[in-house]
């Protein structure tokens, strides 16, 4: 089982790297460049009335695909690859010294539950996958299980994202040294670059330049980013191990970097950069010994959460709010379930029943947050932390309403998350420890339509899921001082 935040009760000790700020200082670029605008995705305005998915009335692509059945999934895949081909035919020479894009030698469709084929020296039997193979310069996909599953849970643009990612590997193979890639390059670098190239392609789609697809950069792009939670590495898989793809927190960064800065940024990713910013490198001994999900309804765990928040923001001098199970209601009747900040009383009122639902992780193959599915314990703890952060904002006299508040709230929640990293035993009285995979839960929760992590005191969420994740990341890497700088 994956390890989660309160399951490891390491002692709470101030981080040596804090130097008066809440958060863990980590070298490297914490986010894509440019100001964070609550109403845009890297400058593209949010318009949730705009559709996401295949364009209507457009002729299908005509790529040659081996073993295709001409069904809905193969048509979706062929149209996706056709548009990705068009993108790289234009962008590769423009961005990489005139180098021409060469189409792949093979495109292969198969059914993992059907007649087995041999691709890349391996059988397709039960291979629920999509992959690039450098041995024969091919991209292959499972039309029987994988693509229908992605389409059902995250929509057709998730299928486009997965295939654009695999084409990213083909681009690496073609660019070679221009993309900092060799036989010795760690897998994590190749995967982060491919995620980045995927983001660059999706910028192309968002700008209306794709023949077969369009994307709403609000809810539509949120679904694509949420796909990263579904296809991330298992919690505890070291980023240094062969085959590591990265956790969702890191993969979303790579996607956003490509979306914001374009394919040249992706080609610059190398082992030094990635080692400097990968947030969760490996499972530690305490995580392996603990195991499981923490019970958010346990009074002891809530006490440890309160202690963690108090210590994280002690430097601010703010009067710490109480955390009470009052059904997420304030005395004046206001409520933003599952947690509410009651400013007049300086209380964070919570609904433990609602929080427990969020804290229950989805079953294998289920989309987090959909149809009543939960996400995990850290998602629930972060909801409480977001309301606690409003007390910090109140203490410095900033408004508790509006989009700037939502950005600060996400940022301060990220700063608290970093505070819980690398706790070490000291006086034995216990504390919270963020575990491998918890930040992925934060990403998944941030992308939910009803999340409070990037919402103001009235529960009004900032429109851009893209911006929510970026603001959280600023806090995680730069601490509360970074939040004050970015969102004053």
pTM: 0.88
Residues 298, 167 share a domain: no
What is the model's pLDDT at position 188?
A: 87
What is the model's pLDDT at position 428?
A: 47
Q: Which residue has the higher pLDDT, 47 or 5?
A: 47
Query: Average pLDDT, stretch 155-174?
Result: 96
Residues 414, 270 share a domain: no
* Residue 323 lies inside a defined structural domain of this protein: yes
Comparing 234-243, 329-338, 350-359, 427-436, the range with the smallest average pLDDT is 234-243
Given pLDDT bands bounded at 50, 70 and 90, which one contains residue 34?
A: low
Residues 269, 195 share a domain: yes
Given pLDDT bands bounded at 50, 70 and 90, which one contains residue 16?
A: very low
Residues 470, 396 share a domain: yes
- The share of the chain scoring above pLDDT 70, in percent, equals 82
* Residue 52 lies inside a defined structural domain of this protein: yes
Q: Using the predicted structure, report yes or no on whether residue 242 has a pLDDT greater than 60.
A: no
* Residue 34 lies inside a defined structural domain of this protein: no
Q: Which residue has the higher pLDDT, 362 or 329?
A: 329
What is the model's pLDDT at position 426?
A: 42
SS (H, E, C) the chain: CCCCHHHCCCCCCCCCCCCCCCCCCCCCCCCCCCCCCCCEECCEECCCCCCCEECCCCCCCCCCCECCCCCHHHHHHHHHHHHHHHHHHHHHHHHCCCCCCCCCCEEEEECCCCCCCEECCEECCCCCCEEEECCCCEEEEECCCHHHHHHHHHCHHHHHHHHHHHHHHHHHHHHHHHHCCCCCCCHHHHHHHHHHHHHHHHHHHHCCCCCCEECCCCHHHHHHHHHHHHHCCCCCCCCCCCCCCCCHHHHHHHHHHHHHHCHHHHHCCCHHHHHHHCCCCCCCHHHHHHCCCCCCCCHHHHHHHHHHHHHHCHHHCCCCCEEECCCCECCCCCECCCEEEECCCCEEEECHHHHHHHHCCCCCCCCCCCCCCCCCHHHHHHHHHHHHHHHHHHHCCCCCCCHHHHHHHHHHHHHHHHHCCCCCCCCCCCCCCCCCCHHHHHHHHHCCCCCCCCECCCCCECCCHHHHHHHHHHHHHHHHHHHHHHCC
Query: Average pLDDT, stretch 457-484?
Result: 94
* Residue 164 lies inside a defined structural domain of this protein: yes
Mean pLDDT of the chain: 85
- pLDDT digit string (tens) for 116-152? 999 999 999 999 999 999 999 999 999 999 999 999 9
Query: Average pLDDT, stretch 357-381?
Result: 77
Choose the final residue of a domain: 246, 277, 308: 277
Domain around 164: 40-277
Q: Using the predicted structure, report yes or no on whether residue 233 has a pLDDT greater than 90.
A: no
Residues 244, 343 share a domain: no
Residues 127, 261 share a domain: yes
Q: Using the predicted structure, report yes or no on whether residue 289 has a pLDDT greater than 50.
A: no
What is the model's pLDDT at position 231?
A: 63
What's the total number of domains in the chain? Answer: 2
* Residue 389 lies inside a defined structural domain of this protein: yes
What is the model's pLDDT at position 46?
A: 96
Query: Average pLDDT, stretch 398-411?
Result: 97
* Residue 15 lies inside a defined structural domain of this protein: yes
Residues 365, 245 share a domain: no
Comparing 3-7, 39-43, 203-207, 268-272, the range with the smallest average pLDDT is 3-7
Residues 64, 181 share a domain: yes
Query: Average pLDDT, stretch 277-293?
Result: 54
What is the model's pLDDT at position 7?
A: 32
Residues 129, 11 share a domain: no
What is the model's pLDDT at position 245?
A: 52
What is the model's pLDDT at position 82?
A: 98
Residues 248, 323 share a domain: no
Query: Average pLDDT, stretch 352-378?
Result: 78
Choose the final residue of a domain: 277, 307, 326: 277
Choose the final residue of a domain: 277, 304, 330: 277
* Residue 73 lies inside a defined structural domain of this protein: yes
What is the model's pLDDT at position 370?
A: 54
Residues 392, 359 share a domain: yes
Q: Using the predicted structure, report yes or no on whether residue 228 has a pLDDT greater than 90.
A: no
Residues 324, 190 share a domain: no
- pLDDT digit string (tens) for 454-469? 999 999 999 999 999 9
* Residue 32 lies inside a defined structural domain of this protein: no
Query: Average pLDDT, stretch 155-166?
Result: 96
């Amino acid at each position: 089982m994956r390890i989660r935040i309160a399951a490891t009760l390491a002692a709470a000790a101030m981080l040596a790297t804090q130097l008066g700020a809440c958060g863990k200082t980590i070298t490297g670029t914490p986010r894509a460049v440019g100001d964070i605008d609550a109403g845009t995705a890297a400058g593209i305005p949010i318009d949730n009335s705009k559709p996401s998915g295949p364009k209507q009335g457009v002729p299908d692509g005509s790529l040659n695909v081996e073993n295709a059945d001409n069904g809905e999934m193969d048509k979706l895949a062929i149209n996706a690859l056709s548009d990705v081909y068009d993108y790289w035919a234009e962008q590769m020479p423009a961005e990489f010294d005139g180098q021409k894009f060469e189409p792949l030698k093979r495109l292969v469709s198969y059914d993992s539950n059907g007649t087995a084929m041999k691709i890349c020296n391996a059988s397709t039997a039960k291979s629920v996958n999509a992959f690039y193979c450098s041995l024969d310069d091919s991209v292959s996909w499972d039309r029987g299980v994988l693509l229908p599953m992605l389409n059902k849970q995250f929509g057709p643009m998730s299928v486009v994202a997965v295939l654009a990612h695999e084409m990213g590997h083909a681009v690496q193979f073609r660019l070679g040294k221009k993309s900092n890639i060799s036989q010795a390059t760690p897998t994590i670098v190749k995967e982060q670059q491919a995620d980045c190239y995927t983001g660059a392609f999706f910028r192309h789609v968002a700008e209306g330049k794709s023949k077969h697809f369009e994307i709403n950069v609000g809810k539509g792009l949120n679904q694509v980013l949420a796909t990263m939670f579904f296809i991330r590495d298992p919690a505890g898989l070291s980023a240094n191990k062969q085959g590591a793809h990265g956790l969702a927190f890191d993969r979303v960064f790579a996607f956003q970097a490509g979306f914001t800065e374009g394919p040249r940024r992706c080609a610059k990713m190398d082992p030094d950069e990635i080692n400097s910013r990968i947030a969760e490198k490996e499972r530690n001994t305490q995580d392996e010994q603990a195991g499981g999900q923490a019970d958010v309804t346990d009074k002891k765990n809530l006490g440890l959460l309160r202690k963690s928040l108090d210590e994280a923001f002690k430097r601010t001098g703010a009067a710490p709010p109480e955390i009470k199970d009052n059904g997420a209601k304030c005395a004046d009747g206001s409520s933003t379930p599952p947690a509410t900040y009651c400013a007049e009383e300086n209380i964070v009122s919570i609904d433990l029943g609602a929080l427990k639902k969020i804290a229950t992780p989805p079953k294998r193959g289920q989309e987090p947050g959909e149809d009543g599915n939960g996400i995990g314990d850290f998602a629930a703890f972060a909801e409480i932390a977001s309301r606690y952060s409003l007390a910090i904002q109140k203490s410095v006299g900033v408004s508790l309403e509006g989009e700037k508040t939502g950005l600060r709230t996400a940022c301060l929640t990220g700063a608290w998350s970093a505070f819980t990293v690398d706790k070490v035993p000291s006086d034995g009285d216990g504390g919270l420890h963020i575990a491998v995979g918890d930040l992925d839960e934060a990403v998944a929760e941030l992308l939910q339509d009803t999340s409070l992590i990037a919402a103001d005191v009235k529960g009004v969420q900032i429109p851009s899921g893209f911006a929510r994740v970026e603001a959280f990341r600023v806090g995680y890497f730069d601490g509360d001082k970074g939040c004050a700088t970015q969102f004053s």
